[in-house]
Chain A
Amino acid sequence: MPEQPDFAAHWSLHPSVSLRDESFGAMAYHHGNRRLVFLKSPLLVDVVRQLDDFESADVALEALVADEQRAAVRRALETLTSSDIVRVG
């Protein structure tokens, strides 16, 4: 199992990543590792775009995501760290 990323740290979109809105959410492309990733909800896209503005991922989730959706968005964010779309720290 990969290590659980630190949600208490500051998170941000990786500077080598381009995001493009699509009807289902957005596509993200990492120019460094050349991975193409699909963000399958507009809410997730919103969170990813704003991560940088919050002191931690936890604070961003609390501010931007309703309670009942938080666990799902949290899991989705976690997968984005494994492909380095989102940077921790």
Chain B
Amino acid sequence: MSVNHSLRDRFESGLAAPICLTWEVTYACNLACRHCLSSSGVRDPRELTTDEAKAFLDEVAAMQIFYINIGGGEPTIRRDFFELVEYGLSRGIGIKFSTNGSRITPEVAQRLAGNDYLDVQISLDGADAATNDALRGEGSYDTAIRAMENLRDAGMKGFKISVVVTRHNVGQIDQLLALADSMNAELRLTRLRPSGRGVDVWDELRLSAADNRALYHWLMAHPTVLTGDSFFHLSALGDPLAGINLCGAGRVVCLIDPVGDVYACPFVIHEQFLAGSILDGGFGHVWRDSELFRSLREPGSPGACASCGSYDACRGGCMAAKFFTGLELSDPDPECVFGHGETALAQRVSVGPRPSPDHSKRVTITSR
């Protein structure tokens, strides 16, 4: 889907309801991925109750939000997870959920297959166990592959294999595409952001300028590969990538966290981008009336990018990537394809803000 300019201006000023709403249903997780964008690990005791969660789904249906993306944490850890999924589906809401695959047994796969309104996304960050497990933890590759096999064998078609592209797996994307084909699945590649625990590994894992250029051309050559619109900063390299090609935070995208807090996008879980709570007057009220969202819908100023001929292609890039690397929101994207981000990074006076809240598991350091 490529979008013409007048429509993009409409998106910039916001929609009646989000196109892409992510709902993280729990901060609990059985993995501890090094780049977890929500710093998940331990359940928050204030997590929405089943009734609160269902009331939220009622409102999603009333607002005619077509589909939601459920994530976490590991969403299937919630005891009422399948109850909530079935409730949402019964209200006509399309549901896609992201999982590490640990609960996708053959029986669960059977239950999931064959429902047009339900989609599953298995996270995998490498084409082999060594690459994947270095980021996601030992055994997580085998777990994900088993889940994919279970979905394939249950006859589920077109589920997603979702990969955060890093400098360690960017050379494996052809293998990952072949894996997706062999599983009757679709490949989804997304950008590594310095969000959550990702802030600690971003410098180590992020793509080089050469990697980013190669990735852009690969994506242009493989239009069926999904990207969640996350590489729009690369559109400044030439023809635009498929998608809306602008920062959708608070305009077409938002995040509901496990306690019902609404953030501008899944990659900015930080008090500065907290728009309100669904427990305080409902989600629609936050979406329409929050001061933060209203300000994000004001026409953007090109800021430091004003003199760049490609501003219209990338619109200054990703807000979260700037924020957590300590750049000003009016600065170029830290991975600006023309290198302006590197210049801005070199000139910043302080390190980026720490993500908050942090639900990482406490690490016990044992002395040897």
Contacts and interface: CB of A to CB of B under 8 A. Distances in A.
Contacts of B1: 35-37
Interface string A46-67: 0000000000000000000000
A18 B119 contact: no
B15 interface: yes
A79 B94 CA distance: 24
Contacts of A16: 116
B10 A31 contact: no
Contacts of B92: 18
Interface in B5-44: 6-7, 10, 15-17, 19
Interface in B219-247: none
A75 interface: no
Q: How large is the interface on A (under 10, 10 to 19, 20 to 34, 35 or more residues)?
A: 10 to 19
A70 interface: no
Chain B contact residues: helix, strand, loop or mixed: loop
B15 A29 contact: no
Interface residues of B, number: 17
Nearest to B14: A23
B334 to A, nearest CB: 29
Given A31-B117, A36-B19, A20 B3 contact: no
Contacts of A18: 64, 66, 92
Interface in A23-46: 23-24, 27, 29, 31-32, 34-38, 40
A22 interface: yes
Nearest to B10: A24
Given A22-B15, A31-B94, A38 B66 contact: no
B67 interface: yes
Given A22-B15, A34-B119, A29 B94 contact: yes
21 contacts: A16-B116, A20-B16, A20-B17, A20-B66, A22-B10, A22-B16, A23-B16, A24-B6, A24-B10, A27-B19, A29-B94, A31-B66, A31-B67, A31-B94, A31-B117, A34-B94, A34-B119, A35-B1, A36-B19, A38-B3, A38-B7
Interface of A: 16, 18, 20-24, 27, 29, 31-32, 34-38, 40
Given A34-B94, A36-B1, 4 more contacts: A29-B66, A29-B94, A35-B1, A38-B3
